[in-house]
Amino acid sequence: MIPVGLLSLSLAVVPSSAALLYVSSYAGTITTLSLTIPSGNASSATLEAISTSDGCAPSPAWLTLDYPNSRLYCTDEGLTTPNGTVSSFQTSDDGSLVQLDKIDVISGPVSAVIYGEGGDGLALAQYGGSSFTTLSIADAAALTVLQSETYKLSQPGSNPSRQEASHPHEALLDPTGDYILVPDLGADLVRIFKVEEGGLEWTSVDPLVTVPGTGPRHAAFLATDEKTFMYLVGELANTITGYEVVYNSNSTLSFVELFAINTHGEGETVPKGTTAAEIELSPDEKFLVVSSRGENSFTIPNFDPTNSTEIISDAIISFSLDHATGGLTHVQTAPSGGRIPRQFSINKAGDMVAIGLQSDGRVVVVKRDVQTGLLGNFLASADIAGEVTAVIFDE
């Protein structure tokens, strides 16, 4: 028999788990949050701000982590200034950020991705400035602009109020890393750039043309042994379009459209006033997760346990992926934890989702079942000043 005293001692020394997250806000800040989950009692998890930087002010819009090199890049959309900026920071185990550099770029960078041999490049999608720009980050303390293109539409798109100009909304890599793709919400295109072998220079190649009024915003890839699939979120049409990607011998990509469904799944309807936002594959590549804004489709208990007023929530929708066909099957439509889930991140283990709620100035962390893909309880939440634009795990 184990003496009671020893048993409680051995339980007490089981370490709790802790993780850091970075949050960007239009208040001008990057906040480092510490998530602590006491062992054996997830219901007492805490999410607390431990550090704040205003180095990416005035309009932090997107965070890109280079974890192996302890570098964080932040794009400032420049909503109140003539230019946007890109900042680099040194990260640290204590959550503090030490700024290394900050440079002006064309206005409106809302997304960035590390690319190129050795991860020496950073590619930007510039919504407000209708541009695509690449930087060298080979020395994070000496950021330099490499190449840039600005786009003009010959006429507005079929949604003239949102498609009055080109609006590049994300920069992402294909699974080979040889191509940078940039969904352009205003132009109904996914712009494609072939990166030179072993270098950082690029040339633009034939784009993917979407159905007018789609408003391409973000995309995600699935590479199986046989095929490559791409899933594109249309913010304006609230659609997910699935494509098979074909690599042509002339260094271009072709896309075979497999299906187009709305973000709530085949045959479902999307609430009026909705704008789809983020799309991400689970780390095991078995599920696809999408966020949908402006729905006001759930009421959930207040995160403040002393406040009995329920709060309004938008939706996070999960689908399982068929690796043979690239097809999607709806798994769950769950509350996002508040209004305007502009962006979310799934941790590497796949058992948590951090969601940034722009209108509510809140970050929530939701439990996720890796096997079923179902989102479960909210583990913790934190209030953040201003409009939350992005939240990422430090891993």
Ligand X SMILES: *[C@@H]1O[C@H](CO)[C@@H](O)[C@H](O)[C@H]1NC(C)=O
Interaction site with ligand X (CB under 6 A): 41, 43-44, 82-83, 104-106, 206, 248, 250, 252, 254, 302, 304, 307, 309, 311
CB 147 → ligand X: shortest distance, Å?
13
Using DSSP's 3-state secondary structure scheme, residue 74 falls into: strand
CB 206 → ligand X: shortest distance, Å?
6
CA–CA gap between residue 97 and residue 80 (Å, rounded): 24
Residues contacting residue 284 through CB under 8 Å, at least 6 positions apart = 350, 370
Q: Which residue is nearest to ligand X (CB)?
A: 44
CB 323 → ligand X: shortest distance, Å?
25
CA–CA gap between residue 372 and residue 179 (Å, rounded): 32
CB 247 → ligand X: shortest distance, Å?
10
Write phi, then psi, for 183 (nearest 5 degrees).
Answer: -60, 130
Return left, alpha or beta for 212; rule: phi > 0 is left, psi -120 to 50 is alpha, else beta: beta
CB 271 → ligand X: shortest distance, Å?
20
* Nearest to 233, CA basis, from 221, 246, 215: 215
Q: Which two tokens stand for residue 104?
A: 């002006």
The nearer residue to ligand X, 33 or 311, going by C-beta atoms, is 311
Using DSSP's 3-state secondary structure scheme, residue 297 falls into: coil
The nearer residue to ligand X, 111 or 238, going by C-beta atoms, is 111
Whether the Cβ atoms of residue 84 and residue 76 lie closer than 8 Å to each other = yes
The nearer residue to ligand X, 117 or 304, going by C-beta atoms, is 304
CB 348 → ligand X: shortest distance, Å?
26
The nearer residue to ligand X, 36 or 372, going by C-beta atoms, is 36
The nearer residue to ligand X, 141 or 256, going by C-beta atoms, is 256
Whether the Cβ atoms of residue 63 and residue 22 lie closer than 8 Å to each other = yes
The nearer residue to ligand X, 84 or 373, going by C-beta atoms, is 84
Q: Which two tokens stand for residue 275?
A: 């704008």
